[in-house]
Amino acid sequence: MKKFTLLPLLLAFFCSAPLAAEEAGDTLFHYRGRAIALSDSAEEVRIRLYDSAGVAQEPYYESRYRTGGKRERTWHLDDTFDYPFADIIAPKKRRVHHRFDPHWGGIGFGFCTTVGTAVGGLNGPEGVSPSMGRSFEIFWNIFSLHIPLNRRNLGLVSGFGIDWRNYRMDGIYRFVKHNVDFGVEAYPEDAFVKFSRLKTFDLTVPLLLEYQSVASRGKFFISAGGVLNFKTHASLLTRYELEGKKIKETAEDLHQNPVTVDIMGMVGYNHLAAYVKYSPFHICQTRYAPEMQSLSAGVVFLY
């Protein structure tokens, strides 16, 4: 069956006419209402597919060939789903990507702090003041989805991930929970301070607009937008020593805001990016907790 199928293609190929001026040097032949343009040069062989109206079609093909006695294979997929560690499963050197390749999936590490904190009331005399150098954010952007807005360098990016943030205070104040609310208070007199921290865990869904540089073949990119956070857990932990005894204070049920939004910006090249995130929403409900908005910055290792 393959011989009979290839026969009309070969006949059409040898009978084809040159392409128009914008395809100068290429060869064009028609098959089943479509036009196939073949461009052959010393560097590459390129195949383009057009419908009956002359509109270029996104390709979906697989090719097998031999080079230096070794069998090679490449494929082109116009997909919109990116799964974790795809480049390990299908290395980039053996596949041709679609033109818009989103930058979201990966593992990120950064430093975080709180802003927009009030002084007095639940916040104590000095307000909430985490040490940004010792407060960490770790997240895993598990997979991404995207919608190209053009064929080359602009698209919308979404996906799913998880985010863990640890806000740590090393000064003379600590987080303390009283019944249903919690705030910031000074340590007992003569206490040897270790740390007091607030930990949160989120499920994240982004919606980012991403621009990619054509000159860098999409490796250099800038993206910005919002990240929806479903805050599923928050807890407190304080450690200090008093009169020779090790004290450990813990608390949960902190009335965290169940849904918040981070404003996020990223700039990167290939598999490495820098990011900044700021949330105009409070981490916890201010009826029960201090006024705290999250700010973080760091790097993302993209796969």
Q: What is the pLDDT of residues 26-49, one digit of tens each?
A: 677 776 677 777 776 655 667 777
Residue 253 Cα to chain centre, angstroms: 29
Lowest mean pLDDT among 17-21, 127-131, 218-222, 252-256: 17-21
63 vs 75: CA distance, rounded Å: 6
187 vs 178: CA distance, rounded Å: 15
Residue indicated by tokens 């461009």: 39
**Residue 250, token pair as written in the block:** 């813990």
Closest CA to 75 of 90, 86, 85: 90
Say whether pLDDT at 24 is over 50: no
Question: How far, in Å, are 47, 68, 72, 96, 259 from residue 104 at the CA level?
Answer: 30, 37, 30, 19, 21
**Residue 75, token pair as written in the block:** 């494929």
User: In this predicted structure, what is the pLDDT of residue 6?
Assistant: 45
User: In this predicted structure, what is the pLDDT of residue 44?
Assistant: 60
Greatest CA separation found in the chain?
96
User: In this predicted structure, what is the pLDDT of residue 121?
Assistant: 58
Q: What is the pLDDT of residues 63-84, one digit of tens each?
A: 555 555 555 555 444 455 555 5
Most confident range (mean pLDDT) of 29-38, 63-72, 142-151, 187-196 is 187-196
Closest CA to 299 of 107, 168, 141, 120: 107
What's the mean pLDDT when you consider all of the chain? 80
- Structural domain boundaries of the chain? 2-57, 99-302
300 vs 136: CA distance, rounded Å: 14
User: In this predicted structure, what is the pLDDT of residue 221?
Assistant: 96
